[in-house]
Amino acid sequence: MTAKRIDGKAAGLALREQVAVAAAEFQARTGRAPGLATVLVGEDPASSVYVRSKGKATAEAGMESFAHHLPADTSEEALLDLVVLLNNDDRVDGILVQLPLPPHMDSSRVIAAIDPAKDVDGFHPVNAGRLATGLDALVPCTPLGCLHLLKNELGSLSGKDAVVIGRSNIVGKPMAMLLIGESATVTVAHSRTRDLPDVVRRADIVVAAVGRPEMIRGDWIKPGAVVIDVGINRVAAADEGKTRLVGDVAFGEAAEVASAITPVPGGVGPMTIAMLLRNTLVAAHRRAGLADPEGL
Ligand SMILES: NC(=O)C1=CN([C@@H]2O[C@H](COP(=O)(O)OP(=O)(O)OC[C@H]3O[C@@H](n4cnc5c(N)ncnc54)[C@H](OP(=O)(O)O)[C@@H]3O)[C@@H](O)[C@H]2O)C=CC1
Ligand SMILES: Nc1nc(=O)c2c([nH]1)NC[C@@H]1CN(c3ccc(C(=O)N[C@@H](CCC(=O)O)C(=O)O)cc3)C=[N+]21
């Protein structure tokens, strides 16, 4: 391996410590801690793990956590009622409705019901539009975490060739918007892209958000490129009956060619949680009429 392993766990912890300091200052000024409400519908095991770790990280940052768990057969109307209740609760600065929702629910309707000022996932069309037009927005946590790691690594991204693989509203599209904002030259690839390996070979920066285990091979990577692997894929481990997490990039191969690369786990995932706390802190400041916390 020649590439530097980008330590997202350490970067996430450092960010969480900064958020904790600023959250304590917010509490001293306003008399209350920033608050994050999470809503989990159903029993998906992976979702339950994520929501629990978000609750723990929230408390560790000195923020208030309001965890709501609804049964899988909850009606969409009942979920929308809860969202309205959280919109109107002054202790709640951030609302996160864990995705995916059960199939009988329309997630875009639910997202649209969240007060954009409390939309710490940055999924509401108002926030997506604000990001796309260069206004102050709440920006999706995962792309924001990727950008933080890229800037740590490269400083300026101006003029770099960036390829984002994936065009979801949650990762690929907002990632592309952020990279455009940093003056990178951005290509967005997806399942209809012709000759993906060749497209990726042009990139100084590769962000992979596909959801296909180890799809991106080492010989697709331009020597010296920085590779950010968003993929979280659970696959069978060598040990019978056990599973392990892998990214969308064949890590071992790519690490022979890249200058720096994020591992899975320990790369983008921990940054997502840190950015969720950061967004909650920012939302709290804006809702309280305070200037954005500095350096976050
Ligand atoms: N680390 C973290 O914090 C997070 C990790 N993730 C992970 O990131 C990955 C992507 O998530 P998400 O964006 O929500 O996924 P989606 O399934 O919504 O989007 C996947 C994208 O990949 C594209 N794609 C699928 N197959 C190919 C292919 N063969 N070649 C090129 N492009 C392809 C799809 O193209 P098309 O649009 O044409 O269908 C689509 O745009 C998942 O592994 C997910 O678990 C997600 C969120 C947070
Ligand atoms: N409304 C909503 N917002 C989200 O941000 C959201 C969501 N729904 N649904 C699911 C995806 C996925 N996601 C992850 C967060 C952290 C890790 C993470 O911390 N991963 C650890 C490993 C965790 C493990 O071991 O399972 C790591 O990569 O090191 C992963 C994935 C947020 N998502």
The reply to whether 141-269 shares the fold of 29-116 is: yes
In the prediction, which pLDDT does 158 show?
Answer: 98
pLDDT tier for residue 265 given thresholds of 50, 70 and 90: very high
Residue 283 confidence (pLDDT): 98
CATH architecture of 29-116: 3-Layer(aba) Sandwich (3.40)
Instruction: Please tell me whether the peptide bond between 45 and the residue prior to it is cis, using omega within 30 degrees of 0.
Output: no
Which of 110, 272, 278, 279 for a ligand 2 pocket mutation test, highest count of atoms within 8 Å of Cβ? 272
232 annotated as a binding-site residue: yes
The residues annotated as belonging to the active site are 54, 98, 121
Q: Is 26 in the pocket of ligand 2 (CB under 6 A)?
A: no
Residue 2 has pLDDT above 90, yes or no: yes
CB atoms within 10 A of CB 46: 10
Q: How far apart are CA 172 and CA 193, in angstroms?
A: 14
> What residue type is 224 in one-letter code?
G
Least confident of 69-78, 82-91, 169-178, 235-244: 235-244
Atom of ligand 1 nearest to the CA of 211: 43
Is the confidence at residue 98, as pLDDT, over 90? Answer: yes
Ligand 1 midpoint to CA 91 (Å)? 34
Given a cut of 80, whether residue 280 has pLDDT beyond it is yes
Q: What is the pLDDT of residue 100?
A: 96
Does position 1 have pLDDT exceeding 90, yes or no? no
Name the pLDDT band for 101 (thresholds 50, 70, 90): very high
Query: pLDDT tens-digit profile of 4-15?
Result: 999 999 999 999
Contact between 39 and 47 (Cβ < 8 Å): no
* Strands of 64-70's sheet in order across: 64-70, 35-41, 94-97
Could you give the angle at which helices 8-30 and 141-154 cross, rounded to 10 degrees? 110
Question: Average per-residue pLDDT in the chain?
Answer: 97
**Tokens encoding 84:** 């309205």
pLDDT of residue 233: 97
**With a 6 A CB cut-off, is 273 part of the ligand 2 pocket?**
yes
Confidence of residue 256 (pLDDT cuts 50, 70, 90): very high
User: Residue 148: what pLDDT?
Assistant: 98
pLDDT at 111: 98
Please answer whether residues 214 and 198 qualify as being in contact, where contact means their C-beta atoms are separated by less than 8 angstroms. Answer: no
Determine the Cα–Cα distance for residues 84 and 114; give it in Å rounded to an integer.
7
% pLDDT > 70, the chain: 100
> Measured from the CA of 264, which atom of ligand 2 is nearest?
28
140: preceding bond cis by omega (within 30 degrees):
no
- The contacts of residue 35 (CB under 8 Å, 6+ apart) are 63, 64, 65, 66, 91, 92, 93, 94, 280, 284
Mean per-residue pLDDT for 226-247? 96
**CA 168–ligand 1 middle distance (angstroms):** 6
CB atoms under 10 Å from CB of 242, counted, come to 8
Q: Judge if the beta carbon of residue 211 lies within 6 A of ligand 2.
A: no
pLDDT at position 82 is 98
Q: How confident is the model at residue 61 (pLDDT cuts 50, 70, 90)?
A: very high
Mean pLDDT of 79-101: 98
For residue 165, what pLDDT is reported?
Answer: 99
Q: What percent of the chain has pLDDT over 90?
A: 97
On whether 247 is known to bind a ligand per the annotation, the reply is no
Class of 141-269 in CATH: alpha beta
- Closest residue by CA, ligand 1 atom 24: 191
- The whole-number pLDDT of residue 179 equals 98
Cα-to-chain-centroid distance, residue 39: 17
Contacts (Cβ under 8 Å, ≥6 apart) of 28: none
Task: Return the exposure string of 143-160: e unless at least 16 CB atoms fall within 10 Å of the residue's CB, then b.
Answer: bbbbbbbbeebbeebeeb
For ligand 1, atom 30, the nearest C-alpha belongs to: 191
Pocket of ligand 1, candidates 139, 214, 232: which has the most ligand atoms within 8 Å of its Cβ, to mutate? 232
Distance from residue 179's CA to the centre of ligand 1 (Å)? 18
Q: Supply 148's token pair.
A: 């933080």
Identify the residue whose C-alpha is closest to ligand 1 atom 19.
168
Centre of ligand 2 from the C-alpha of residue 74, in Å: 23
Domain ranges of the chain: 29-116, 141-269
CA dist 166 and 199 (Å) reads: 13
Q: How confident is the model at residue 258 (pLDDT cuts 50, 70, 90)?
A: very high
